[in-house]
């Protein structure tokens, strides 16, 4: 026996822990009921109570869960042999895993896009044998021809540039290796005889980088041998730099050539189209929707399928129906077992009463409001003791029993205001006032409006606070509550005085700023006037200087200084004449020019002999 989905069996490990929890829970229930009455009185106080029935229902539920998990694991035992005739194509995928496939000009990269495209193609193939050839500067058959497409996909998933021994790109060598792989696969199937030529297909997936210039020759060779050849291009015309990744796949930088310049990998769509034409096939660039897969499948559909061989498969029989049926039976038994004894319910039915009519006197409806009242009292006590967390919990429990009760919402608002949650307090007081008015509890409504005004004042909403104080005062007058009226009037007066002070302070600041602005404008005007006078004096001074400069020098001292300055301009050397110096400078310039030309020529002839992308 074996299980097709054994991961579900791990759930069986939880069953013992669930059983222990059931036992502990049953003991806890008995202890709680013991606090209410002694076990000897249980049959008199609650004759319908039966802890064994509840525990029995839980056991049936656990057993049903266990057999359900066994059914999900799909047990299998027994088998039979089936024979099928295998027919299809021999398809070899030639995948480019050079460093240039790391380029991210397509999302997320050329390599990941190629893998996704291969997965889409494999999902549409049916009955065909598929092999995989990976290549960079070196090449190799990473998956021989097989009809196990799941294994083919597992092989493609682990491919990346690090799986190849040498980096670079040699498409010609890859096509030659694919041709040899097809020949070996045909010999294995036909016992040395060649399979039908129309059933052999080579699909190249690459960005078009090729450093050896043998691809066109090998594509023509495939055409001569009758092997169908198709080309899929991965990349965009703009290209991009080649990332350098560490073992974890994190980008550490970008690949550079020997001169330190970043390498830009281009997408050679024209070369790939020429390659497909030379091989007698078609070329498609990859797209986001991958519609080219459907076109390729249409082309493959017109090819003749070869008969591989008769294969035998051992098929195991599914037996999940047995544990599933047991689980259903156990669930039916669990549903049929009552939680309590049926004796009391039979007596009530015989008297023609229902549980609703037995409570018609209204006394049994008290527990819900009573319990809420008790929880509210406990919350008030905790609030008076300063235990705000306990008070919040008690008030919340009370509100859960009666959510729209205005007193409970009022208490929540007081607690929230104490905790500094102003917005929530405002909302609670609004709800309390609204609900109290609907319930015609006008005194509570007035108090809620008063506290709402306090909360709005703390929030900074003075206008709404004044409005709430006014409404609270009007309600207190109608309800004849002088204490609340006096307190609300006092707070209203303080709020209005503070508002007036803020307004007066604002006006004083505006008045103070006006003289300062006038004084500042006057100072700027004076500065501009002074600046104009300085500019006028400076212009007059410059005019006088120019006038003096235009006059001829009258004293011999000024004339001698001018002559000495003029003599500094002439070339003066006791060892070399000015003509000799000019010739030397011309020779130095000529040599420098020759040196620059030689350096440019040397750099222009330098070639990159090692391309590892």
DSSP per residue, 129-167: EEEEEEESSSEEEEEEEES-HHHHHHHHHT--GGGSSS-
Alpha-carbon distance of 512 to 514, in angstroms, equals 6
Residue 40 within any structural domain of the chain? yes
Residue 535 within any structural domain of the chain? no
- pLDDT tens, residue by residue, 73-122: 888 888 777 776 667 788 999 999 998 888 988 988 999 999 999 999 99
Residue 241 within any structural domain of the chain? yes
Alpha-carbon distance of 74 to 79, in angstroms, equals 14
* 122 and 47 within one domain: no
Residue 79 within any structural domain of the chain? no
* 267 and 155 within one domain: yes
* 42 and 155 within one domain: no
Question: By percentage, how much of the chain surpasses pLDDT 70?
Answer: 72
Going by their DSSP bridges, the two strands 200-206 and 228-233 should be labelled as: parallel
pLDDT at 559: 30
Under 8 Å between Cβ of 48 and 340: yes
pLDDT of 599 strictly over 60: no
Per the listing, tokens 């404008």 go with: 521
Q: What share of the chain is helix, strand, coil (3-state, %, to 5)?
A: 60, 15, 25
Going by their DSSP bridges, the two strands 129-135 and 139-146 should be labelled as: antiparallel
Instruction: Report which listed range, 41-55, 284-298, 546-560, is most confident.
Output: 284-298
Q: Tell me the chain's radius of gyration from C-alpha atoms.
A: 48
pLDDT at 530: 62
* 50 and 110 within one domain: no
Cβ neighbours of 128 (radius 10 Å) = 23
* 329 and 440 within one domain: no
Q: What is the token pair recorded at 179?
A: 């041709």
User: Span 191-218, mean pLDDT?
Assistant: 76
Alpha-carbon distance of 243 to 194, in angstroms, equals 44
Under 8 Å between Cβ of 303 and 201: yes
pLDDT of 517 strictly over 70: no
pLDDT at 306: 67
**Torsional class of 436: left (φ above 0), alpha (ψ -120 to 50), beta (otherwise):** alpha
Helix pair 51-72, 14-36: axis angle to 10 deg? 170
Of the candidates 123, 121, 141, 122, the one whose C-alpha atom is nearest the C-alpha of residue 132 is 141
pLDDT at 399: 72
Q: Is 353 helix (H, G, I), strand (E, B) or coil?
A: coil
* 89 and 18 within one domain: no
Its domain, for residue 329, covers: 2-74+325-347
Alpha-carbon distance of 69 to 74, in angstroms, equals 9
Q: Is 219 helix (H, G, I), strand (E, B) or coil?
A: helix
pLDDT of 268 strictly over 50: yes
Residue 425 within any structural domain of the chain? yes
Q: Which of 483, 499, 515 is the last residue of a domain?
A: 499
Alpha-carbon distance of 331 to 79, in angstroms, equals 31
* 153 and 47 within one domain: no
- pLDDT tens, residue by residue, 124-148: 987 788 999 999 888 999 999 888 8
Of the candidates 454, 370, 381, 365, the one whose C-alpha atom is nearest the C-alpha of residue 405 is 370
pLDDT of 49 strictly over 80: no
What mean pLDDT value characterizes the chain? 76
Alpha-carbon distance of 134 to 557, in angstroms, equals 94
User: Span 480-494, mean pLDDT?
Assistant: 85
Q: In angstroms, what CA-CA distances link 158 with 61, 112, 600?
A: 45, 11, 46
- pLDDT tens, residue by residue, 209-234: 887 788 899 999 999 988 999 999 99
pLDDT of 204 strictly over 90: yes
14's enclosing H/E stretch is: helix 14-36
Alpha-carbon distance of 483 to 590, in angstroms, equals 110
Alpha-carbon distance of 116 to 133, in angstroms, equals 17
Q: Which of 468, 499, 530 is the last residue of a domain?
A: 499
Alpha-carbon distance of 419 to 407, in angstroms, equals 19
* 253 and 162 within one domain: yes
pLDDT of 348 strictly over 60: no
Does residue 108 have a cis peptide bond before it, meaning omega lies within 30 degrees of 0? yes
Residue 393 within any structural domain of the chain? no
Of the candidates 332, 330, 334, 328, the one whose C-alpha atom is nearest the C-alpha of residue 57 is 334
Residue 175 within any structural domain of the chain? yes
Alpha-carbon distance of 132 to 205, in angstroms, equals 11
User: Span 164-186, mean pLDDT?
Assistant: 86
Alpha-carbon distance of 463 to 458, in angstroms, equals 12
Q: Which of 464, 499, 534 is the last residue of a domain?
A: 499
Residue 219 within any structural domain of the chain? yes
CATH assignment at residue 432: 1.25.40.10
Q: What is the token pair recorded at 249?
A: 């796949």
pLDDT at 493: 84
Q: What is the token pair recorded at 555?
A: 């004293």
Of the candidates 365, 419, 375, 430, the one whose C-alpha atom is nearest the C-alpha of residue 399 is 375
Instruction: pLDDT band for 612, please (50, 70, 90 cuts).
Output: low
Answer whether 0.85 is exceeded by the pTM.
no
pLDDT at 230: 95
Under 8 Å between Cβ of 334 and 64: yes
pLDDT at 610: 53
Alpha-carbon distance of 125 to 105, in angstroms, equals 29
pLDDT of 19 strictly over 60: yes
Instruction: Lowest mean pLDDT of 31-40, 82-91, 322-331, 567-576, name the range.
Output: 567-576
pLDDT of 347 strictly over 80: no
Q: How many distinct structural domains can be found in the chain? A: 3
pLDDT of 38 strictly over 50: yes
- Please indicate whether residue 111 or residue 564 has the higher confidence score (pLDDT): 111
* 97 and 66 within one domain: no
* 54 and 110 within one domain: no
Q: How many CA atoms, within 13 angstroms, populate the side-chain half-sphere of residue 29?
A: 12
135 phi and psi, to 5 degrees? -150, 155
CATH assignment at residue 134: 3.40.50.410
From edge to edge, which strands make up the β-sheet containing 2-3? Answer: 2-3, 75-88, 306-318
Q: What is the token pair recorded at 426?
A: 């405002």
* 198 and 128 within one domain: yes
Q: Which residues of 20-57 are buried (b: 16+ CB within 10 A; e: fewer)?
A: eebeeeeeeeeeebeeeeeeeebeeeeeebbeebbeeb
pLDDT of 360 strictly over 70: no
Cβ neighbours of 144 (radius 10 Å) = 16
* 457 and 494 within one domain: yes
């Amino acid at each position: 026996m074996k299980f097709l989905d054994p991961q579900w069996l791990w759930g069986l490990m939880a069953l013992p822990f669930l059983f222990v929890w059931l036992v502990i829970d049953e003991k806890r229930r008995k202890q709680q009921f013991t606090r209410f009455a002694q076990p000897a009185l249980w049959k008199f106080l609650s004759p319908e109570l039966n802890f064994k029935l509840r525990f029995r229902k839980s056991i049936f539920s656990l057993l049903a869960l266990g057999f359900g998990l066994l059914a999900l694991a799909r047990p299998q035992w027994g088998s039979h042999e089936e024979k099928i005739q295998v027919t299809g194509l021999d398809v070899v995928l030639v995948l480019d895993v050079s460093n240039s496939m790391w380029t991210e000009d397509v999302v997320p990269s050329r390599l990941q896009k190629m893998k996704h495209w291969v997965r889409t193609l494999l999902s549409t193939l049916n009955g065909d044998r598929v092999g995989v050839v990976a290549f960079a500067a070196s090449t190799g058959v990473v998956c021989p021809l097989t009809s196990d497409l799941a294994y083919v996909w597992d092989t493609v998933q682990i491919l990346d540039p690090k799986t190849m021994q040498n980096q670079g790109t040699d498409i010609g060598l890859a096509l030659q290796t694919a041709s040899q792989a097809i020949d070996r696969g045909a010999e294995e199937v036909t016992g040395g005889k060649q399979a039908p030529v129309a059933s052999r297909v080579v699909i190249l997936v690459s960005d078009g980088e090729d450093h050896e210039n043998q691809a066109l020759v090998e594509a023509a060779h495939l055409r001569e041998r009758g092997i169908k050849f198709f080309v899929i291009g991965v990349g965009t015309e703009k290209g991009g730099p080649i990332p350098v990744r560490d073992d974890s796949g994190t980008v550490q930088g970008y690949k550079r050539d020997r001169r330190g310049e970043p390498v830009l990998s281009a997408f050679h769509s024209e070369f790939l189209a020429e390659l497909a034409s030379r091989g007698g096939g078609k070329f498609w660039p990859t797209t986001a929707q991958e519609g080219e897969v459907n076109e390729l499948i249409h082309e493959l559909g017109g090819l003749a399928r070869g008969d591989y061989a008769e294969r035998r498969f051992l098929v195991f029989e599914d037996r999940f129906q047995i544990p599933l049926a047991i689980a259903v039976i156990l669930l039916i038994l669990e549903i049929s077992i009552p939680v309590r004894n049926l004796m009391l319910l039979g007596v009530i039915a015989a008297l023609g009463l229902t549980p609703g009519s037995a409570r018609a006197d209204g006394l049994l409806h008290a527990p819900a409001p009573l319990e809420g009242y008790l929880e509210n009292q406990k919350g008030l006590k905790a609030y008076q003791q300063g235990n705000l967390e306990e008070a919040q919990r008690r008030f919340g429990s009370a509100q859960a029993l009666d959510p729209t009760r205005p007193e409970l919402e009022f208490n929540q608002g007081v607690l929230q205001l104490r905790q500094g949650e102003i917005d929530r307090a405002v909302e609670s007081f609004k709800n309390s006032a609204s609900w109290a008015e609907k319930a015609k509890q006008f005194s509570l409504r007035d108090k809620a409006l008063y506290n709402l005004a306090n909360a709005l004042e703390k929030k900074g909403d003075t206008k709404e606070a004044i409005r709430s104080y006014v409404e609270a005062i009007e309600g207190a007058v109608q309800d004849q509550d002088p204490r609340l009226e006096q307190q609300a009037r006092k707070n209203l007066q303080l709020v209005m005085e503070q508002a007036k002070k803020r307004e007066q302070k604002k006006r004083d600041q505006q008045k103070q700023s006006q003289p300062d602005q006038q004084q500042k404008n006057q100072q700027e005007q004076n500065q501009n006037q002074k600046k104009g006078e300085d500019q006028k004096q400076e212009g007059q001074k410059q005019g006088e200087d120019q006038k003096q400069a235009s006059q001829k020098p009258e004293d011999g001292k000024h004339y001698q200084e001018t002559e000495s300055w003029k003599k500094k301009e002439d070339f003066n050397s006791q060892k070399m004449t000015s003509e000799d110096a000019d010739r030397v400078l011309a020779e130095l310039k000529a040599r420098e020019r020759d040196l620059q030309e030689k350096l440019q020529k040397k750099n222009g002839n330098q070639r990159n002999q090692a391309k590892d992308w």
